[in-house]
Every structure is written in C-alpha cells, then in structure tokens.
Structure 1
C-alpha cells in the first residue's frame, strides 16, 4: 500500500480562502444578529455544520463579495493585520460597537509548496465556536434601538496598493466602552483573534 499515505494539509492559498470565507460569514452574522438590515433580507445557508444567515440585498452582497475577494488576495500576501466592523448610529453618528478581528500571519510561509498539517475538520470546529459566540453576543450586548449603519476597516501593511474606491479612515473607537474577547481560530498559517467593544450603558 505504499503511496497511499495522504496528508490533509493546509497551504497558504487554502488558508487565505478559509479566513476570507470566515470573514464573509462572520460579517453577515454580525449584520443579522445586530439588526443592521431587516431580517427578511437574509437567507439561510449551511456552513461549518451550522445554519447561518446571509444577506440577499444585491448591493450588500456585491460589496461583501468584493471585500472578501480583495481580502483573500491580501491574506495570501500576508498583508492583513486586522479587520474591523464598526456599527454607528445613523441619527447621531455615534459609534456603538466595534468588532475587531486581529490577523496574525506566519510570514515564513512564502508559497504554496509549504503544507501545514492541520485537519480542515479541526479548523471548521474552531471557526464554528467563533461564529456561535457571535450569535450568542445578543444575550449581553445592549439593544441597538436606533437605526444603524456599518463600516468595514481593513488594516494592512503600510506599502500596500489600495483599490481606488477605498478610502483612508481613522480607527473609529467606541468611547466609554466595555470589551469582550471572543474565541480565536488558527489554520497554523493565519491566526484570527476576535473581540467586540460596545458602548457602556450608564445605569
């Protein structure tokens, strides 16, 4: 049976795909859970052994697809440091929540010839835990009782060519905030640490 040994390995390209796909589903989950778009504009999708909700809004879908494609390219080049989802009140422009995903990349992996031994199943389980936590945050995050909008911030290496339509932005922190750390996951090439900061409600 020589030659039958197969290795479930992760390459740089595979890792970039896994992480950008996580961001696609993670952002959709945040937008649904936090009520940024009406619930009827979401449809169910099966992923990571979970039933997730994905937007059917044509403009939002196109925007998120564009962002995740660009992210995949930057992740492949190990140029992404973090992705942030900022939720703002439309009326007051006040920042109410800031979801931060820090990305660490093993820059010693330069090409797809390097294969890391980690089972895709184990990575899926780790991602499932993060998504479940995003879903569960509605139990402790303050209710967003005002119409809200969201922004995506992507922190990249300084010398990066940024697409024309993308704008420079400040960090957009939440003032007077509380923070909750969420789980992390790793492909062994990219590691993603998650947290959410939200506005403290004065009691």
Structure 2
C-alpha cells in the first residue's frame, strides 16, 4: 500500500490511489468471474482480507496499468465522473453488460483540509478496506445470478472525464453505451472520506 497517510490522515493523492487499486481488483474480478479469459491465466492474491484474482496476461496488465495511472491523475484533479467496464459480444459488437464505477468527490475533514490547504480525510484505512472487502464480496455474489455469457466476449473500459482533459495518445473518444432490455443492480458503496465509489452493473435480460 503506497497511500500517503499519517495518523489516519488520508491525502487527496492517497485516496485516488485507493480508488484505483479497488478498480484494478474489481475489473480483474469481473473478467475472471464472467469467464472472458481462461482461469489459468489468473493468479490468486490476498487483499482486503480476502482472496482475489488478477490476470497475468501481459496485454491486460499493460492496458489496466495505463488506464488506471491516467485515471488517478484525473481523479486527483476531479475530472473523472465514472469509469465503465463494458462486456461486448465479439461477433456482433453488442454490449451485453456494463459495470459503472461512479466517482463522487467529498469534502474530507473541512478543518484539517483548510489547515493543510488541500482536501484530506481522517477515516481509518482499516475501515476503508473493510468497506471495499464488502463491495468485492458483493461483486462476486452478483456475478452468480447474471445471465450466462454464451458467446465469445471481449471488454473495454471507458473513462467519463471532463471535456477539457487532454486525451493520451492511442486513446479514442467512445460512443455512449446502450443495452437493450436492460436491468441494473446497485452494489454497496465505499468512502475514503475524500472520494466515494458507487458500483452499478447493467445487463441485458435474456428473452
């Protein structure tokens, strides 16, 4: 854990790192649980007091590292509204599922923030990790009753950022996601006291 914190003080940067670390594990969990890649390409890792799985595919690791390092910078400057993990049918390009990770910006500890001249929070890291663990357990439970993906699928991640963000090389603007006959499930949220993360999955109901 590389969060900048002392005496339960969590900085804006430290909070953004926690958010992006959660996103790394959540995205990997969905990729594994939804069977987009062979289970043997994932490795088990202990985090938040539970066992989680991370892809060892070099391309996926590189993709997520670039995505989340850029997202962290934008979250620090309050330029990200949400990230969306979309699962797409390879054959017809139809979006079958969308995991929205909504980022909200909180005030932290107003008195301490004024003193330090930046947004800081005082929530205990242990408490934050407990909340994230509860969300991760719910992600796994939710996946168990989503419709079976009976086709070859791929994924992409969209970052919903403010228009004035400078788009990195090899990134492209994407169309908004639309799922026909959609149903959604709101998962638990967690808060660092500087940022709040809400997770929602939208999926296509099978006829």
TM-score normalised by the chain length of structure 1: 0.92
Classify the secondary structure of the residue corresponding to 1:128: helix
CA contact (8 A) 1:98 1:173 kept: no
Please name the residue that 2:81 is paired with: 81
Moved over 6 A (4+): 107-112
Query: Residue 138 of structure 1: CA displacement?
Result: 2.4
Please name the residue that 1:127 is paired with: 132
Root-mean-square deviation (CA), in Å?
1.7
Query: Residue 53 of structure 1: CA displacement?
Result: 0.3
Classify the secondary structure of the residue corresponding to 2:62: helix
Unaligned runs of 5+ in 1: 1-5
Alpha-carbon distance between aligned partners in 2 of 1:105 and 1:157, rounded to the nearest angstrom: 14
Query: Residue 115 of structure 1: CA displacement?
Result: 2.9
Which of the residues 116, 135, 138 maps onto 2:143? 138
C-alpha spacing 1:135/1:112, structure 2 compared with 1 (3 Å)? farther
CA contact (8 A) 2:98 2:201 kept: yes
C-alpha spacing 1:72/1:96, structure 2 compared with 1 (3 Å)? same
Judge which range, 112-121 or 192-201, deviates more.
112-121
Alpha-carbon distance between aligned partners in 1 of 2:117 and 2:60, rounded to the nearest angstrom: 32
Alpha-carbon distance between aligned partners in 2 of 1:90 and 1:62, rounded to the nearest angstrom: 21
Equivalent pairs counted in the alignment come to: 197
Alpha-carbon distance between aligned partners in 1 of 2:117 and 2:36, rounded to the nearest angstrom: 38
Please name the residue that 2:188 is paired with: 183
Alpha-carbon distance between aligned partners in 2 of 1:106 and 1:164, rounded to the nearest angstrom: 31
For residues 10-66 of structure 1, what are the alpha-carbon distances to aligned partners after superposition, in whole Å with 9 as ceiling and x for unaligned? 110110110011111111001001111111100011111111000000111111111
Alpha-carbon distance between aligned partners in 2 of 1:86 and 1:158, rounded to the nearest angstrom: 21
Alpha-carbon distance between aligned partners in 2 of 1:189 and 1:17, rounded to the nearest angstrom: 11
Classify the secondary structure of the residue corresponding to 1:44: strand
Please name the residue that 2:198 is paired with: 193
Classify the secondary structure of the residue corresponding to 1:65: helix
Classify the secondary structure of the residue corresponding to 1:141: coil
Alpha-carbon distance between aligned partners in 1 of 2:117 and 2:137, rounded to the nearest angstrom: 31
Please name the residue that 2:105 is paired with: 105
Alpha-carbon distance between aligned partners in 2 of 1:83 and 1:74, rounded to the nearest angstrom: 11
For residues 173-195 of structure 1, what are the alpha-carbon distances to aligned partners after superposition, in whole Å with 9 as ceiling and x for unaligned? 21111111111111111111111
CA contact (8 A) 1:12 1:112 kept: no
TM-score normalised by the chain length of structure 2: 0.90
Pair 1:42 & 2:47 matched: no
Alpha-carbon distance between aligned partners in 2 of 1:184 and 1:112, rounded to the nearest angstrom: 27
